[in-house]
Structure 1
Amino acid sequence: MKAPFSSRFTVTIAALSVFVASSTLKPSAVLAQGGIRDAEIEALIADYSNPILRAAGLGSQNIRIHLINDRSFNAFVVDGQNMFLHVGSIMKSSTPNQLIGVIAHEAGHIEGSHISRMQTQIARAQTAALFFQLLGIASMAAGAFGGGGNDLAEGGAAIMYGGQSAAMRSFLNYKRAEESAADQAAVRYLNVTKQSSRGMIETFKLFLEQSSTAGRGVDPYAQTHPLPQERIASLQQLAVTSPYFGQRDSPDLQLRHDMVRAKLDAFINKKNRAVVFRDYPDSNQGLPARYARAIATCYSQGSRAALPLIDQLIAAQPTNAYFHEFKGQCLMEEGGSMNEAIPPLRTAVKLAPRASLIRVMLAQALLASNNNAVLNEAVENLKLALVNETTNAAAFTQLANAYARLNKQADAELATANAYFHRGRFTDAKMQAKRAQAGFPLGSPNWLKADD
């Protein structure tokens, strides 16, 4: 049964509206839907993405990759500075090369300025759709008031629907072209970095197996992306000519990838130990499986049950900062022992001094220990962390707490102002900044920061 013209018209306009909304989302709005932070995962993603971004000429643009707590396989960009990666993309990528291909594709969108160009294309499509809407309304009005009857009214509806459908198809054709261009750019970056495009082909084959749109009866002109089989064919032609097509991921990188996948599985299912032990049974004595079981044990049976498993991991890789970090985290969150958490977190910071999130966790433990003798250590770790974590409101709040306990009221107020600012509470931020400014010498660095 065909939908009435009016309802089909509504669908077409609604579809364009969705594209407008999705292409103008702010990063904060996306992260509000469920962003996650983890030092180990972010370090791995940085190692994947940095060579690709440099190859794309984007190395100096400070592009941030945000992790979204969603198990589906997806990645996208909303502007020229931020890339978003569902954790499901990591979990479903069996090799680093597969995930690197996804990142390379999104980098192609950024390099090609596809978001800003797509917004222009959307505006054109909306203008065309609106023109046909007005033309159709005029025809329908002539039918209603000029004696033309139903023929003119139906003709006006047909003009509205047909014109908008053409506008929508024109936009979708443009979108598919941009996706193909991003695919080609991704292959170029992979070649520059001497990596294989095989992972991209494997990813699209996964899409082909899972996508309901790969069946018969699909209108290829009604898709925003080329159909998976088309992308595979196009990529295959480019990929097999590369001298790096047979290149494989190093064993060390594959192990790190598997560790992160196990970690995600365990944390996402941390309250369902049975699921984790099904995915990583005791019979699997590989390091990733042992990591997953240690995490699941911590959150299902507590830190005391998990500590022997964590210590075994540390014995296997004593210089792995993230094992020490997790020991501290487990003691903090499931053992309630802040003092016991401090030594492993200190070790983690020594092993990974640039891991700002571990410094923030150490500061949290130091502050929660209620030992005033470690307050300055907490402040120093937070200040170092905030060099990179410039928008981390929680870290600024901890810094404010530490300064207040050290009786440094103006510093505490300035840190509080920053915390409010990065939470979007601009009125409160301005009020706290004015209070802080009154406590600093006129023209001093902190006075100027408060003035900003």
Structure 2
Amino acid sequence: MLFRLALRTRTFKLTALMTAVALAVGPVVPARAQQKGPPVLRDTESEQLLREYTRPILRAAGLEKQNIQIVIINDGSFNAFVADGRRIFVNYGALLQSETPNQIIGVLAHETGHLAGGHLAKMREQLAQAQTQMIIAMLLGVGALAAGAGGRGNGLSSAGAAAISAPQAVIQRTLLSYQRQQEENADRAGVKFLNATGQSAKGMYETFKRFTDESLFASRGADPYLQSHPMPVDRVSALQELARSSPIWDKKDDPALQLRHDMMRAKISGFMERQDTVYRRYPLSNTSLPARYARAITTYLHGDLRSAIAQIDGLIQVQPNNPYFHELRGQALLEGGRPAEAIAPLRRAVQLSSNSPLIEMLLGQALVASDNKAYTDEAINMLRAAVAREPEAPLGYTQLAMAYGRKGDYAQADLASAQAAYLRGDTKTARDLASRAKTRFAIGTPGWVKADDIVSAKPMPGQKNN
């Protein structure tokens, strides 16, 4: 199941933050971070594959015990970045545009290089130092302006203005130079990790080479000292020399892994692209499994449930133990208004996926939507277990609230609704529901304490305090 989720933490590109701080004295919050944050896409199949991609890289970097997570951002452009030291953010566009596992693994290796090098912490130190330098420069400049005004002389006033503006340009260049060095270090570290895990750096080189070709015109005439990343040609040239020195330069991805990668790309295309775009990418003449997967998804999304189910059943015949085909069948039936029929394929998907919490939430939704009260306790138990393992997924709490409401447990229903609203970023609604839940729980009970926590909680980063 692929669905969107509001991201809880404030995220931003270091480039945006660094440039902003270099141009202003006070703390600066990027415009995008002032909103609720970029939406996140959740999908068990994609997330599992990305975990497998990053696990050996993180082990080679000595970060295997750091619980680094991969977060898929709902953005069609090709980008990946780190922002908080414990997560790597990848746009779905990067997954869709990467033709081989090795290409996206190379990008992940580069981002791991940033984490292993402690670049976020070091950048914060540079930013703090830059702010201090800027304040000093401002004070000196203001002092010169005051002296010029007191002496009624334009010379000191002009000097004061120059003292304010000149250091800003110097500090900006210094910070940009520092970040360019970080990017080069991350490239070298990424190649090192790939070599250590027996993987070629060719995909990493191919990715950066493609962007070099695309950005040559845009970067023509640019000042290399005002760029946050190394100039494209220089960067790719250095990367090519480093990557080609590896004895495994020409090593290919395993065919089975390539198929899984192609299936992930097809799934993203089916869910995220227009139907006509999907059919151009995967025409009917293409009878491969990924093409059939993409067409089945876009068929059900655009209302032809009967045809979609037939296509999904054809996929299941080819791979009867693929949990994500059964998940898709259940999701199509559930969203097509047939929740009772969705239960069986979703049960099978849960079983085959070793109890994926996201798929359990979908099954819980089907159990609740079936209107069969006999399923209420099962839904509650399943959803409670799912949100315990995936506490940042609003869907689980929303369905849990409905299940409790059906049972007549309105205290727990209000609490679950409050938790869902809080995760969606609706702080006012969350507090209102939690306040009502407190009146229904006995004082000091676990439910009362959880509700009180929501009432007194500060808004999550990026949320408004309504």
Q: Does 1:327 align with 2:360?
A: no
Structure 1 unaligned blocks of 5 or more: 1-10
Match of 1:43 among 43, 48, 63: 48
Q: Is the 8 A contact 1:214 1:227 kept in 2?
A: no
1:51 to 1:449, Cα distance in 2 relative to 1, 3 A: farther
1:6 corresponds to which residue?
A: none
1:216 corresponds to which residue?
A: 220
- Take 1:201 and 1:159, find their aligned partners in 2: how far apart are those partners? 43
Q: Does 1:92 align with 2:97?
A: yes
Aligned counterparts, 1:39-438, within 5 A = 39-143=44-148, 146-149=151-154, 152-212=156-216, 215-269=219-273, 272-333=274-335, 335-409=336-410, 411-416=412-417, 418-423=419-424, 425=427, 427-428=431-432, 431=435, 434-435=438-439, 437-438=441-442
Q: Is the 8 A contact 1:413 1:433 kept in 2?
A: yes
**How far apart are residue 375 of structure 1 and its match?**
1.6
> C-alpha offsets along residues 125-153 of structure 1, whole Å, 9 cap, x if unaligned?
2222333334344444555553433x554
The letter of the residue matching 1:278 is R
- Take 1:12 and 1:397, find their aligned partners in 2: how far apart are those partners? 40
Q: Is the 8 A contact 2:296 2:308 kept in 1?
A: yes
Identical residues among aligned pairs (%): 48
**How far apart are residue 411 of structure 1 and its match?**
4.4
- Take 2:307 and 2:203, find their aligned partners in 1: how far apart are those partners? 39
The letter of the residue matching 1:297 is T
Q: Is the 8 A contact 1:12 1:164 kept in 2?
A: no
Q: Is the 8 A contact 1:25 1:78 kept in 2?
A: no
- Take 2:309 and 2:26, find their aligned partners in 1: how far apart are those partners? 49
**How far apart are residue 422 of structure 1 and its match?**
3.6
**How far apart are residue 200 of structure 1 and its match?**
1.1
Structure 2 unaligned blocks of 5 or more: 1-17, 454-466
Question: Which piece of structure 1 moves more, 212-221 or 101-110?
Answer: 212-221
Q: Is the 8 A contact 2:411 2:437 kept in 1?
A: no
**TM-score by structure 1 length?**
0.86
1:199 to 1:214, Cα distance in 2 relative to 1, 3 A: farther
1:12 to 1:55, Cα distance in 2 relative to 1, 3 A: closer
Whose RCO is larger (CA < 8 A, sep 6+)?
Answer: 2
> C-alpha offsets along residues 343-401 of structure 1, whole Å, 9 cap, x if unaligned?
22122112112321111111111101101111222223213322320222321231232
1:64 to 1:24, Cα distance in 2 relative to 1, 3 A: farther
1:252 to 1:432, Cα distance in 2 relative to 1, 3 A: farther
Q: Is the 8 A contact 1:79 1:110 kept in 2?
A: no
Q: Is the 8 A contact 1:143 1:153 kept in 2?
A: yes
- Take 1:294 and 1:19, find their aligned partners in 2: how far apart are those partners? 52
Q: Is the 8 A contact 1:414 1:436 kept in 2?
A: no
Q: Is the 8 A contact 2:106 2:203 kept in 1?
A: yes
Q: Name the Cα RMSD after superposition.
A: 3.0
Q: Is the 8 A contact 1:359 1:381 kept in 2?
A: yes
**How far apart are residue 24 of structure 1 and its match?**
12
Q: Is the 8 A contact 1:360 1:395 kept in 2?
A: yes
1:44 to 1:435, Cα distance in 2 relative to 1, 3 A: farther
The letter of the residue matching 2:73 is I
The letter of the residue matching 2:290 is P
SS of 1:438's equivalent in the other structure is coil
Q: Is the 8 A contact 1:23 1:119 kept in 2?
A: no
- Take 2:277 and 2:29, find their aligned partners in 1: how far apart are those partners? 34
1:146 to 1:167, Cα distance in 2 relative to 1, 3 A: same
- Take 1:296 and 1:133, find their aligned partners in 2: how far apart are those partners? 58
**How far apart are residue 428 of structure 1 and its match?**
4.5
1:436 to 1:112, Cα distance in 2 relative to 1, 3 A: farther
1:312 to 1:31, Cα distance in 2 relative to 1, 3 A: farther
**How far apart are residue 64 of structure 1 and its match?**
2.1
The letter of the residue matching 1:69 is N
**How far apart are residue 121 of structure 1 and its match?**
0.6
- Take 1:79 and 1:176, find their aligned partners in 2: how far apart are those partners? 19
**How far apart are residue 176 of structure 1 and its match?**
1.1
- Take 1:18 and 1:267, find their aligned partners in 2: how far apart are those partners? 44
**How far apart are residue 122 of structure 1 and its match?**
1.2
**How far apart are residue 260 of structure 1 and its match?**
1.2
- Take 1:109 and 1:417, find their aligned partners in 2: how far apart are those partners? 37
The letter of the residue matching 1:311 is D
> C-alpha offsets along residues 20-70 of structure 1, whole Å, 9 cap, x if unaligned?
6579998xx787322111121111111112222222222222222211111
1:3 corresponds to which residue?
A: none
The letter of the residue matching 2:296 is A
